[in-house]
Amino acid sequence: KHIGEAEAKYQAGGSPLADVDLYKDSNPDAPKMSKAEFDKARNIYFQRCAGCHGVLRKGATGKPLTPDITLARGSEYLKVFIKYGSPAGMPNWGTSGELTDDEVDLMARYIQQTAPTPPEFGMADMKQTWKVIVPPEQRPKKKMNNYNISNIFSTTLRDSGEVALIDGDTKKIINIVKTGYAVHISRISASGRYLFVIGRDARVNMIDLWMEKPDNVAEIRIGLEARSVDTSKFKGYEDKLAIAGAYWPPQFVIMNGDTLEPLKIVSTRGLTVDTQEYHPEPRVASIVASHFKPEFVVNVKETGKTMMVDYSDITNLKMTEIGSARFLHDGGWDLSKRYFMVAANQSNKIAAIDAKEGKLAGMVEVGKIPHPGRGANFVHPKYGPVWATGHLGDESIALIGTDPKNHKQYAWKLVENLKSQGGGSLFIKTHPKSNHLYVDNPLHPEAKVSQSVAVYDLKNLQGGYKVLPIGDWAGLKDDGAKRVVQPEYNKDGNEVWFSVWSAKDKESAIVIVDDKTLELKTVIKDPKLITPTGHFNVYNTQHDVY
């Protein structure tokens, strides 16, 4: 199996646009399709193909598939490509059994039609979906429960469209909260009171952790498909504003931090950083809130630009546009929280964005398809503060120097490469109180690797890694995929939590490891823990500890 395929399958996670009824009369030059055939193909396209090839099929990490190109190739050629895949990363949808020959034929005809354009989603649409479930004046004036809320974990239950709030002290489920579908991330307001989550379907939920039983207090849809949300953290603006970014339409929206009332929508359509050509659908990837200025750091995938959005005056909105490389995806702060390290994943680079000066501090060539999550920060005996990322496309762990003041010669350089279990890594994590660095490999083709995690001793990085069989430790009753996803520490930094993620009809679990002994501490199992993926500790997320 070639590496690009893991990346392509990862991007084929399914889009809510699959359910939007879009039918265009077929292109007169394209092979004929009935409406029923078109609808079926459109659904498959948004489930499997749009992640790489784009909603409008203009190309992103995958090649463009507009009719000017596909008609010239012709049905027979396209069918072979779809069925058998290509070494460049196109999955073998036919021979892998995921599409039948009839479906391969259908898709070959579909991509010769003009791509249907999904509708826009503006202020009126947002307002229609906006609900204040508990208005601010009816909310508690103080914390009404006995939970140690800074050690709560918000765990995505991907396929059930919920998050589980789990008490990090007792390991008991506090509540299962209804949210959008396949919540991508959880973020915490500056005060630590409010939890914000966003579903793939662009539904944002705001949960009040002060309620006797923490639950939703507001909700809105900000588009048709999305991945990112955050809230204002600069002094004087704590809990004041929220922001969410959409994949479709390509835009972000600034909202009231109390109620989610939408205030200002900004389009990200524009020119790419390198060839400076117009791109019709630059998706909003990671968003973080700056600690240095009243700014949101908004990373735009297809244009390869980071927008520093000044929220101090949203009527006269000022934005600094920092160009780096395509295609910006995920990232996290360095140890000082001044530099945002963002993966330009198809360029195999990490860009360091200086949030204090509002400019590009450096670009570092790393391994194939860096995928840090938020990355991992620690102090290296020789290189000083470093930030680390794993990769989807190879087995390297890149350590990058992040201290231009006291370790100038190493700043924004790849100072060391560690070897891990293999590619297919999504997340890496450490904690200021820990001597360990954990690296997952949920997309590795071998079960032995995808069901385990590698741990390095920060005091002896050259000593290699130890493998913890997290999937086995879960002791699940059926033989699911058991992909081990996302190491996350508790507040004290002495436990590490992992999701053991199997399909929705199979048992999944959360496995907790004692960080000192690297032994199993607890397994959380519950019939309600359906497809757990990301999990976010309140304190560590609130303070950007990673």
Contact 177, 154 (CB under 8 A): no
> Catalytic: 52?
yes
Contact with ligand DHE (CB under 6 A) among 308, 352, 485, 511: 485
Instruction: For residue 494, count other CB atoms closer than 10 A to its CB.
Output: 14
CB of 74 to ligand DHE, least distance (A): 29
Q: How far is the CB of 331 from ligand DHE (least distance, A)?
A: 7
Q: Is the peptide bond before 46 cis (omega within 30 degrees of 0)?
A: no
Q: Which is nearer to ligand DHE, 228 or 421 (CB)?
A: 228
Q: Is the dihedral of CA 32, 38, 44, 45 positive or negative?
A: positive
Does the annotation count 329 as an active-site position?
yes
- Report whether 412 contacts 364 (CB < 8 A): yes
* Cβ-contact 297, 287 below 8 angstroms: yes
Contact present, 84 and 74 (Cβ < 8 Å): no
Alpha-carbon gap, residue 11 to 13, rounded angstroms: 5
Please pick, among 49, 255, 307, 341, the residue that the annotation labels catalytic.
Answer: 49
Is residue 285 within the footprint of ligand DHE (CB under 6 A)? yes
Taking the alpha carbons of 411, 412, 413, 419 in that order, is the dihedral positive or negative?
Answer: positive
Phi, psi of 136 (to 5 degrees): -50, -40
Q: Tell me which of 279, 371, 407, 431 is the catalytic residue.
A: 371
257/534 with CB nearer ligand DHE: 534
**In a 3-state reduction of DSSP, which class is residue 150?**
helix
* Active site annotation includes 53: yes
Of the candidates 279, 329, 380, 431, the residue annotated as catalytic is 329
Q: Smaller CB distance to ligand DHE: residue 270 or 332?
A: 332
Check if 436 is active-site: no
Q: How many CA atoms lie within 13 A of 488 on its CB side?
A: 28
H or E element that contains 70: helix 67-73
Question: Residue 224 interacts with ligand DHE (CB under 6 A)?
Answer: no
Closest CB to ligand DHE among residues 105, 295: 295
Check binding of 193 to ligand DHE (CB under 6 A): no
Question: What stretches of 20-172 adopt beta strand conformation (E)?
Answer: 131-132, 152-157, 162-167
**Least distance to ligand DHE, CB of residue 299, Å:** 8
Three-state SS annotation for 290-334: CCCCCEEEEEECCCCEEEEEECCCCCCCEEEEEECCCCEEEEEEC
b or e along 235-267 (b: 16 or more beta carbons within 10 Å of the residue's beta carbon)?
eebbbbbbbbbbbbbbbbbbbebbbbebbbbbe
Closer to ligand DHE by Cβ: residue 208 or 230? 230
Tell how many helices (H) and how many strands (E) occur in the chain.
Answer: 10, 35
The residue (of 78 and 287) whose beta carbon lies closer to ligand DHE is 287
* Residue 373 found at the interface with ligand DHE (CB under 6 A): yes
Site string for ligand DHE, 3-22 (x = CB under 6 A): -------xx-x---------
Contact status: 374 vs ligand DHE (CB under 6 A): yes
The residue written with tokens 């360095």 in the block is 334
Rule CB under 6 A: is residue 57 a binding residue for ligand DHE? no
533 binds ligand DHE (CB under 6 A): yes
Instruction: Work out whether 228 is an interface residue with ligand DHE (CB under 6 A).
Output: yes
Output the smallest distance, CB 373 to ligand DHE, in A: 4
Q: Which is nearer to ligand DHE, 373 or 493 (CB)?
A: 373
Q: Is residue 341 close enough to count as binding ligand DHE by CB under 6 A? A: no
Q: How many residues bind ligand DHE (CB under 6 A)?
A: 23
Q: Taking contact as CB under 6 A, which single stretch among the options 137-145, 279-287, 309-317, 461-469 is the one that binds ligand DHE?
A: 279-287
Based on the residue annotation, tell me whether 90 is a catalytic residue of this protein.
yes
Task: Report the DSSP pairing between strands 349-354 and 359-365.
Answer: antiparallel
DSSP bridge pairs for 510? 499, 524
User: Is 345 an interacting residue with respect to ligand DHE (CB under 6 A)?
Assistant: no
Question: Three-state DSSP class for 391?
Answer: strand
According to the binding rule CB under 6 A, does residue 286 interact with ligand DHE? yes
- By three-state DSSP, how is residue 276 classified? coil
Q: Which of 53, 221, 227, 436 binds ligand DHE (CB under 6 A)?
A: 227
486 binds ligand DHE (CB under 6 A): yes
List active site positions: 49, 52-53, 90, 329, 371
Chain residues binding ligand DHE by CB under 6 A are 10-11, 13, 51, 158, 182, 184-185, 227-228, 285-287, 329-330, 373-374, 426-427, 485-486, 533-534
